[in-house]
Structure formats: C-alpha cells, structure tokens
C-alpha cells in the first residue's frame, strides 16, 4: 500500500522525494509544527521557596553547560540570583561542573563606578560567582562603567556578544517597576546596549547595596530589550511579595514598554521561575502548576 497512488499511475507531487509517502510528509510537517510550538513558550514555574527556585534554575544552567561546555551565559546581579550563584559554585566544587570553556556577559553596570567599587557589578560578580568557579577571566564581560566613550563601548559590547555566537541562556531578575536589566519603564522594546537613566524607585531599591550616605549613580549601561530578546533562552527569576505586582503585570498583563519584562512574551523560550510569594498576584496559578506537572517528556529535555 506504501507506494499506492504512484504505482497506480497517478503522478507524484513534484516536491515529494522518490521514497516519500504522503504519510511521511504529514509526519514531517507535524513534527515541524511541534518544534515551532516548543520554540515559543513563556513557561511559568512556581516553586515552594526561593531556595527551591534557585536550585531549579541552577540545574537548568548546569544541564546546558554539561551539554555545551562552551556555552555563552548572560548573567544578572542583585539579590535575586545570589542563591543560584551559590548553587553553581557548589556544583563546581562538589560535582566538577566545569566553566572553563564558558563565556559570560553581564546585563549592566553603573556609570562612574570603578571595577573595584564594592557596589559595582564587576565587584559583585567577582565576589559572588567568578572567584568560586573556573570561568576564565578573559571570557567574562561586564560593561565598562568608566568608559570615556559610552556609545562606542555599547556598540563594542553588542559586537562581542555577536562574536561569541550570541547568548545561549540569559538570567534575569525583575525590578519592582517591571524592568529587566536596567531597561526602565518606557524603554524601547527594540533597544540595544546603551546608557539609561535610573528611575528614583530603582535608585531607592538599590540603595541598600551602597554605603550609607553614598549616592546611587543616576546612569547605567545596560543591554537593551532587543538584545535580551535575541538570546536563545531566558530564565527570569522573581522572589518575594515585592515583585508580585510587577510579575503579574509582566505575565498576565498586556505587552507594554511600561512593563519591560512583558516583552518576554516575544521571546522564543522564556521560563519564569517564582517562589510562592512572588506568585500571589497571578490569576492563573492552578493552570501554570498543571502545565508544569504534566509537561510532555520531549519538553523536559
Ligand atoms: P534584585 O533586583 O534582584 O536586587 O531584587 C532585580 C533587578 O533590579 O533586576
């Protein structure tokens, strides 16, 4: 029955190969559709605690680094990824997770802070991750906050991401105002690495990282939303009640430059990993839990 139509004298469609049946073509098309569906997901994963969420994120990163030792990782700073970085350091120490061939790009840096400044993101990354793993210092990239030519620095940063082959997996936190990186509300959804002015709310949120009485810088260099959307996979982490409103707006509200994290609906593969407190303003938590608990096997890979 295999060669049915053709053997009975009906001409085969010209785009069919000599051995392809309609059934095989149908299966090929179906698997193409499945791949496309797989490629466009915003997956909301609610974990019982910040610790459980950080461990899950660390497992996802470790699985990438084991599969692709020369992975390009996009890194974030702030209090959110601290548990994740602790777990990656533990995996390196106790399980031999190897970052030797990995490359990293950080999202942002304050303009005017030297790499040695305790509130700089250079310092943060050194203290909280880089000195605990075996990533090669020359493979780590953080925007230069002391640059005398910021536009050239930003252009070069984008060029070095491209030269590294693009970012395989980007870690993100979310600001209480919905920012990702330092893309504050009203940022262009197509923005690239550039200088940004912080809102008073973000400066107040970040004041605890600075010494008492020290001014939080007004300006930063940040990857743009367009830069983030080009990464191959995103893990957005959000913990605590303080992030609940921004997360609900980003996940269940309309896509809007006023909630920069909502742009992740356009990302081909975004995972949002929350603790219970951060999920309290979401309306469809039962559905997100059901989807995660019943994930098809092929989606778990
Ligand atoms: P936080 O900041 O992790 O310190 O809460 C997140 C962010 O501003 O992106």
- What's the 291 CA to ligand 1 centre distance in angstroms? 27
Residue written as token pair 């909502």? 262
pLDDT surpasses 60 at 17 = no
State the pLDDT at residue 40.
61
CB 235 within 8 A of CB 169: yes
Q: Which atom of ligand 1 lies at the shortest distance from residue 206's CA?
A: 4
pLDDT surpasses 50 at 34 = no
Please give the angle made by the CA atoms of 241, 244 and 246, to the nearest 5 degrees. Answer: 135
Write the DSSP assignment of 118-134 as a string of letters: TTSHHHHHHHHTGGGS-
- Asked if the structure places residue 56 within a domain, the reply is yes
Q: Is 178 in the pocket of ligand 1 (CB under 6 A)?
A: no
Find the catalytic residue in 144, 168, 184, 230: 184
- Asked if the structure places residue 9 within a domain, the reply is no
179 is catalytic: yes
- Asked if the structure places residue 7 within a domain, the reply is no
CB 276 within 8 A of CB 238: no
Predicted TM-score of the model (pTM): 0.86
Distance between CA atoms of 102 and 70, rounded to whole angstroms? 4
Q: Which atom of ligand 1 lies at the shortest distance from residue 180's CA?
A: 9
Sign of the torsion angle spanned by Cα atoms 86, 154, 218, 116 = positive
Sheet of 108-110, strand order: 108-110, 219-222, 194-197
pLDDT surpasses 60 at 30 = no
CATH number (domain holding residue 187) = 3.40.50.1360
Pairing status of strand 219-222 against strand 194-197: antiparallel
Q: Which of 84, 174, 177, 234 to mutate to test the pocket of ligand 1 (most atoms within 8 A of CB)?
A: 174
Distance between CA atoms of 238 and 15, rounded to whole angstroms? 49
Q: What are the helix (H) ranges across the chain?
A: 4-7, 22-39, 50-67, 82-95, 121-128, 150-163, 200-206, 225-229, 244-252, 285-293, 297-300
Q: Which of 173, 202, 240 to mutate to test the pocket of ligand 1 (most atoms within 8 A of CB)?
A: 173
- What's the 199 CA to ligand 1 centre distance in angstroms? 14
Q: Collapsing DSSP states into helix, strand and coil, what is residue 86?
A: helix
Q: Collapsing DSSP states into helix, strand and coil, what is residue 101?
A: coil
- Asked if the structure places residue 216 within a domain, the reply is yes
Q: Is 173 in the pocket of ligand 1 (CB under 6 A)?
A: yes
State the pLDDT at residue 297.
76
R_g over Cα of the chain: 22
Task: Write out the residue range of the structural domain in which residue 130 sits.
Answer: 19-300
184 is catalytic: yes
pLDDT surpasses 70 at 300 = no
Q: Is 83 in the pocket of ligand 1 (CB under 6 A)?
A: no
- What's the 68 CA to ligand 1 centre distance in angstroms? 28
State the pLDDT at residue 1.
32
Distance between CA atoms of 283 and 248, rounded to whole angstroms? 8
Distance between CA atoms of 83 and 63, rounded to whole angstroms? 17
- Asked if the structure places residue 283 within a domain, the reply is yes
Residue written as token pair 């459980």? 52
Q: Collapsing DSSP states into helix, strand and coil, what is residue 271?
A: strand
Q: Is 174 in the pocket of ligand 1 (CB under 6 A)?
A: yes
Q: Is 278 in the pocket of ligand 1 (CB under 6 A)?
A: no
Q: Collapsing DSSP states into helix, strand and coil, what is residue 43?
A: strand
Among 1, 37, 49, CA closest to 21: 1
Tens of pLDDT along 108-124?
999 999 999 999 999 99
- Asked if the structure places residue 87 within a domain, the reply is yes
Kindly state the greatest CA–CA separation across the chain.
88
Q: Which atom of ligand 1 lies at the shortest distance from residue 76's CA?
A: 9
Tens of pLDDT along 227-246?
999 999 999 999 999 999 99
- Asked if the structure places residue 247 within a domain, the reply is yes
- Asked if the structure places residue 2 within a domain, the reply is no
Count of domains observed in the chain: 1
177 is catalytic: yes
């Amino acid at each position: 029955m295999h060669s049915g139509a053709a053997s009975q004298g009906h001409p085969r469609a010209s785009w069919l190969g000599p051995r392809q049946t309609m059934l095989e073509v149908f299966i090929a098309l179906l698997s193409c559709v499945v791949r496309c569906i797989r490629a466009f997901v915003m997956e909301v994963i609610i974990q019982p605690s910040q610790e459980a969420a950080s461990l899950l994120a660390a497992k996802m990163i470790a699985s990438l680094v084991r599969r692709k030792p020369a992975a390009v990782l996009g890194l974030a700073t702030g209090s959110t990824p601290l548990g994740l970085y602790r777990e990656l350091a533990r995996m390196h120490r106790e399980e031999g997770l190897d970052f030797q061939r990995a490359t990293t790009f950080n999202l942002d840096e304050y303009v005017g802070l030297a790499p040695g400044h305790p509130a700089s993101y250079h310092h943060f990354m050194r203290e909280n991750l880089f000195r605990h793993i075996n990533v090669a210092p020359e493979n780590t990239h953080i925007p230069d906050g002391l640059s005398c030519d910021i536009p050239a620095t930003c252009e070069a940063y984008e060029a070095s991401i491209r030269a590294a082959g693009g970012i395989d997996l980007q870690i993100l936190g979310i600001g209480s105002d919905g920012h990702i990186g330092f893309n504050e509300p009203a940022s262009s959804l197509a923005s690239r690495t550039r200088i940004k002015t912080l809102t008073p709310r973000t400066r107040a949120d970040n004041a605890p990282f600075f010494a008492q009485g020290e001014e939080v810088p007004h300006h930063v260099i940040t990857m743009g939303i367009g830069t983030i959307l080009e990464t191959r996979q995103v893990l957005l982490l959000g913990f605590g009640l303080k992030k609940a409103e921004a997360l609900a707006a980003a996940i269940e509200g309309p896509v809007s430059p006023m909630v920069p994290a909502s742009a992740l609906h356009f990302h081909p593969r975004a995972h949002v990993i929350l603790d219970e407190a951060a999920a309290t303003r979401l309306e469809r938590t039962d559905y997100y839990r059901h989807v995660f608990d019943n994930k098809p096997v092929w989606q778990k890979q």
